[in-house]
Structure 1
Amino acid sequence: MKLASLGSGSKGNATLVEADDTLVLIDCGFTVKETEQRLARLGLAADQLSAILVTHEHGDHIRSAGALGRKTGCPVYSSFGTASAVQGKRTSLSGANWQEVRPGRAFTVGALQILPVLVPHDAREPCQYRFTWQGRTLGVLTDLGAITPHVVEAYQDCDALVLECNHDAQMLVHGPYPPSLKRRVGGMLGHLSNDQAAALLRQANVDRLQHLVLSHLSEQNNTSRHALDAIERVVTRGRERIGVASQTEGFGWLQVH
């Protein structure tokens, strides 16, 4: 099993997970053309996708998921709430081979067993995903404002983890956002701060992690250095396992052995 990213941040998100002959795309927050261009950088074409999984209805995650699904014919998975939230909009999943996921109920796409995990975020029915293949577990966890016991349970024993480190709390307080947006980002239904991400890792089996990728960093309210400083206080051994996803490049293939 391996993972890669086409880009991560407020301007668009897309993550790839591959196992055997199964290739899934988690979120599609770029245009179809840009998604295809970013796939090509990894030597891939959109018609190789086995499925598209959508976490929630915000544009930086769902922008062309429906359109790409219609173009390629591959199924598009989301919660009922997510699909309902975009009904009648340009980001609608109508016309695509839409498949409903139910948080907490695992399903299978090819070689991958996938668990949708309900998370606290300001969306209709947002869920993140955990993948299992041949006894190995890979987690994708972004776009949530709080760490719940349910989230800890789902992600505490991963072999690889893509984890949101959206903002540094002090940078957010003193940053350029208006007060209402600061409250949203820093609230219980917003985004994880560096310190919140570190708090999750304190409750996880970090020694098991082969790869830890810090993702969805805010360009205004965070830096790679701030995020790494917070996380490295928890992951004190094997710091070479930690990477940072970028908005423009994402990150290249990482193998889970």
Structure 2
Amino acid sequence: MATRQSASARGQAEWKKALRFASLGSGSKGNATLVSDGETHVLIDCGFGLRETESRLARLGLHPRQLSAVLITHEHGDHIRGVGALARRYGLPVHLSAGTWLSGRLGDVPRHELITPHSRFTIKGLEIDPITVPHDAREPVQFCVSARERRLGVLTDLGHPSAHVVQAFRGCDSLILECNHDPRMLAEGPYPPRLKRRVGGDWGHLANAQAHSLLRQVGLDRLQRIVCSHISEQNNRPELAQEILNPLLDGDESRLVIAAQDKGFDWQIVA
């Protein structure tokens, strides 16, 4: 009994120190991703109102006062809707590109820290690489976060899998990857023509087949978890994304996680 309890205690201690990540929700109605090394907790984007953000953090066992910072990928509303209120209420620093800051869409924040794409910075125990991506915003980035010799890629908004993005996200141990739309559903769906062109264009969002292509180029040998994120409720279905990506998983479909709009996904360990 003592041996089993000791092993359990060791397992809990290792879990607390591991790089891990979770989602408050993912989709056109709001996006927010938590990344933690057990001591430092950062929130990537905050597309939910303050009360909703507090509630969703609580579901994951975290209070906003435990956050060290908020990182922003770009200025679209589904990524920044709650940033200003959250930062003001809890005195959180906000890290973002100069272009995102100059968009003027965040409002007042207690402290903003400008980041330079492709220049690593650190927040306590987390090393963070901001990566420029093709998306229709002022200066959009996505992030790779490293801790304890493990690396997580967060890649949720880009129009196409450009060569520099593929190179930047090689070597990840887990990857949150946009699977936004199915081209046929987009073409036949309710969006007006201009919005269809934007979503399906090279500066919009990834289609399922483009996510498949990016994964093949990045390589899957090291990837423990692949998260399908930013799935459109109008123009995609989770099973369509799964159908395209599953053949890459060598029969181990447990490696694939779906990020839902209403509840995101629970903590995932990067072992």
TM-score, normalization: structure 1? 0.96
**2:94–2:109 CA contact under 8 A, matched in 1:** no
Structure 1: which amino acid aligns with 2:153? G
Quick one: which of 202, 211, 214 aligns to 1:200?
214
Unaligned 5+ segments in structure 1 are none
1:175-204 Cα distance to aligned partner (Å, 9 max, x none): 111111110000011000000000001112
- What root-mean-square deviation, in Å, do the aligned CA atoms of Structure 1 and Structure 2 show? 1.0
Name the residue aligned to 2:251. 237
My pick for the range that moved more, 167-176 or 185-194, is 167-176
Percent identity, please. Answer: 54
CA positional deviation for 1:236: 2.9
Going from structure 1 to structure 2, the CA distance change for 1:179 and 1:109 (only over 3 Å counts) comes to same
Pair member with larger Rg: 2
Q: Does 1:168 align with 2:182?
A: yes
User: Is the 1:143–1:164 Cα contact (8 Å) retained in structure 2?
Assistant: yes
Q: Counterpart of 1:200 in structure 2: which amino acid?
A: L
Corresponding pairs, count: 253
Q: Secondary structure at the match of 2:235?
A: coil
Q: Which residue of 2 aligns with 1:217?
A: 231
Asked if the contact 1:156–1:201 (Cα under 8 Å) also holds between the matched residues in 2, the reply is: no
What SS class does the counterpart of residue 233 from structure 1 fall into? helix
Tell me the distance in 2 between the aligned counterparts of 1:13 and 1:151: 21
Give the Cα–Cα distance (whole angstroms) in 2 for the partners of residues 9 and 38 of structure 1: 15
For residues 248 and 23 of structure 1, the distance between their equivalents in structure 2, rounded to whole angstroms, comes to 22
CA offsets per residue over residues 122-169 of structure 1, 9 Å max, x none?
100000000111211100001110111110011122101100000011
How is 1:79-228 mapped onto 2 (pairs within 5 angstroms)? Answer: 79-85=97-103, 87=104, 89=105, 91-92=106-107, 94-228=108-242
Distance in 1 (alpha carbons) for counterparts of 2:232 and 2:178: 10
1:49 aligns with 2:67: yes
Cα distance change, pair 157–13 in 1 and its aligned pair in 2 (3 A):
same
1:72 counterpart residue number: 90
Counterparts of 1:216 and 1:146, CA distance in 2:
15
| 1:22-41 matched pairs, under 5 angstroms | 22-41=40-59
Name the SS of the counterpart of 1:206 in structure 2: coil
| 8 Å CA contact retained: 2:145, 2:151 | yes
> SS of the counterpart of 1:255?
strand
Moved more, 58-67 or 188-197: 58-67
CA distance in 1, matches of 2:208, 2:82: 29
Q: How does 1:57-68 map to 2 (within 5 A)?
A: 57-68=75-86
- SS of the residue aligned with 2:212? helix
SS of residue in 2 equivalent to 1:203: helix
Q: Please state how far the C-alpha of 1:174 moved relative to its aligned partner.
A: 1.3
SS in 2 for 1:207: coil
Secondary structure in structure 1 of the residue aligned to 2:197: helix
The amino acid across from 2:116 in the alignment is R
Q: Aligned equivalents of 2:36 and 2:148: distance in 1?
A: 13
Moved over 6 A (4+): none
Cα separation, 2, equivalents of 1:29 and 1:209: 27
> Matched residues in 2 for 1:247 and 1:241: separation?
20
Q: Which runs of 5+ in 2 are unaligned?
A: 1-18
CA contact (8 A) 2:249 2:255 kept: no
Distance 2:25 2:58 in 1: 13
Bigger mean CA offset, 143-152 vs 227-236 = 227-236
Tell me, in whole angstroms, the C-alpha distance in 2 between the residues paired with 1:172 and 1:11: 17
